[in-house]
Amino acid sequence: MTCSDHQAPDSNGSTPNHVRTNGIAPHHHHPQPIVSLDHGDPTMYEAYWKKAGQRCSVTMSGFQSLSYFGDGKTLCWFMEKKLEDEIRKLHKVTGNAAIDGKHIVVGTGSSQLILAALYALAYTLDISNPVDVVSAAPYYSSYPEMIEFLRTGLFKWSGDARCFDKDVPYIEFVTSPNNPDGSTREAAVMNRGQLGMLVHDLAYYWPQYTAITSAADHDLMLFTASKCTGHAGSRIGWAVVREENVARKMVKFIEMNTIGVSKEAQLRSASVMELISLSCQKRKPCDVESFFDYSQCTLADRWKRLRDVVTKNQLFSLPKFPSHYCNFRREVVQTYPAFAWMKCKEGIDGERLLREHKIGTRSGRRFGWEAEYVRVSMLSRDDDFDLFLHRLSTIQPTANGNQN
């Protein structure tokens, strides 16, 4: 019983008159809670991991993992060898990244690795002015927020990569598939020459979201367990880095920032990745369902239902995606992004409209875009997603094109 369940008695010890209704407690109207689809919290994956049961459980004794140091002999001195092995295996199984001869750097989520990459690249330039950092709009909303939060003298946020025309060194984030709109991206700055450095954020380049058309082979690539396996709470990300000096600088940043990465989180993520790789094999235990099949089917169903609602209410529109041959699945597949990039009719503030109907989203303005657009997470729990669709379906345009 909560504090609000207790009623203070009258002076005579009886229940106050205003709460007595012939022995029946009066009905109190509670406002509807907001369905929060602002963050990409990947709780959609809970159902799969519940089915997996204890297969990914990690038990550690009190004497284990006391040291700062990992048990491997790699450049990233705080990384557990089992995690590096499982990362390399998963990339081999899916074919989404070329990793042979490259260094793996583990971080506390890709957020820490983004800053580590910026530090490493800017440091190698050794110039007096902050390095310009850009990304093509609509860009990941956390790029400018993280960069401006630090107020560092090493780098600064300089906005949309398509508008960048300075003849100076710069760093460009290439997010592909892109967050928020799900599109496939390449570098956007024209005439890059020798001045530009690229960071490829490939958080969503996994078979449940898009076709694996080739093994990405870039100088610096970022991945995260959050969007790969759904374990956002473990805060595990990793970078695949070609140049040793850049990898060493990234490791130094993490060393100075957090003196490494949680061993418990590393070993849990390694166990999860091991099961995912196993689930992709033709000869796997009969009680192990393919992780990527399950995830893709769930997303495909959600996208179909969302498109049905959007088609009926005529207030919103969604991007269309081309089909591509997927080397992992060996067939042509559709694209099912982790976020829906919804556009409201011109002149309508999308975030404000949806919040009035108890749907929390992220405004396009946060992504360097128009207010008519909103980003909606497709990775929530089933109940939240169903409630979102129900509320969205109740928003109807009036005769003048506005909404009720």
Render pLDDT for 220-240 as a digit per residue (tens, 0 to 9): 999 999 999 999 999 999 999
pLDDT given for residue 240 in this prediction? 98
> CA 383, 384, 389 angle in degrees (round to 5)?
100
Cα 144 to Cα 368: distance, rounded to the nearest angstrom:
10
Range of 30-34, 58-62, 335-339 with top mean pLDDT: 335-339
pLDDT given for residue 386 in this prediction? 98
The pLDDT of 263-280, averaged and rounded, is: 96
pLDDT given for residue 25 in this prediction? 38
Helix (H, G, I), strand (E, B) or coil at 308: helix
Cα 298 to Cα 41: distance, rounded to the nearest angstrom:
16
Render pLDDT for 320-334 as a digit per residue (tens, 0 to 9): 999 999 999 999 999
CB 22 within 8 A of CB 361: no
CA 90 to chain centroid, in Å, comes to 18
CA atoms within 13 A on the CB side of 193: 9
Residue 190 has pLDDT above 80, yes or no: no
Q: Name the average pLDDT for the chain.
A: 90
Render pLDDT for 292-303 as a digit per residue (tens, 0 to 9): 999 999 999 999
pLDDT given for residue 396 in this prediction? 82
Confidence of residue 400 (pLDDT cuts 50, 70, 90): low
Question: Of the given ranges (182-196, 310-324, 332-346), which has the lowest mean pLDDT?
Answer: 182-196
The residues near 267 (Cβ < 8 Å, ≥ 6 apart) are 58, 60, 65, 80, 82, 83
pLDDT given for residue 11 in this prediction? 37
The residues near 228 (Cβ < 8 Å, ≥ 6 apart) are 90, 203, 206
Q: Which of 301, 287, 272 is nearest to 51 (CA)?
A: 287
pLDDT given for residue 23 in this prediction? 35
Residue 191 has pLDDT above 80, yes or no: no
CB 127 within 8 A of CB 154: no
pLDDT given for residue 284 in this prediction? 84
CB 338 within 8 A of CB 296: no
Residue 143, burial from CB neighbour count under 10 angstroms (0-12, 13-18, 19+): buried
pLDDT given for residue 20 in this prediction? 34
Residue 98 has pLDDT above 80, yes or no: yes
Residue 110 has pLDDT above 60, yes or no: yes
Strands 170-175 and 131-135 come out as parallel
Q: Is the dihedral of CA 249, 71, 86, 234 positive or negative?
A: negative
The pLDDT of 264-289, averaged and rounded, is: 93
Confidence of residue 30 (pLDDT cuts 50, 70, 90): low
AA letter at 164: F
Render pLDDT for 337-358 as a digit per residue (tens, 0 to 9): 999 999 998 889 999 999 999 9
pLDDT given for residue 337 in this prediction? 98
**H or E segment and range at residue 348:** none
The pLDDT of 100-113, averaged and rounded, is: 97
If one compares 351 and 55, the residue with the highest pLDDT of the two is 351
CB 235 within 8 A of CB 106: no
pLDDT given for residue 360 in this prediction? 98
Residue 136 has pLDDT above 90, yes or no: yes
Render pLDDT for 2-29 as a digit per residue (tens, 0 to 9): 344 433 334 334 334 333 333 333 344 5
* Two tokens, residue 111: 């957020």
The pLDDT of 369-378, averaged and rounded, is: 98
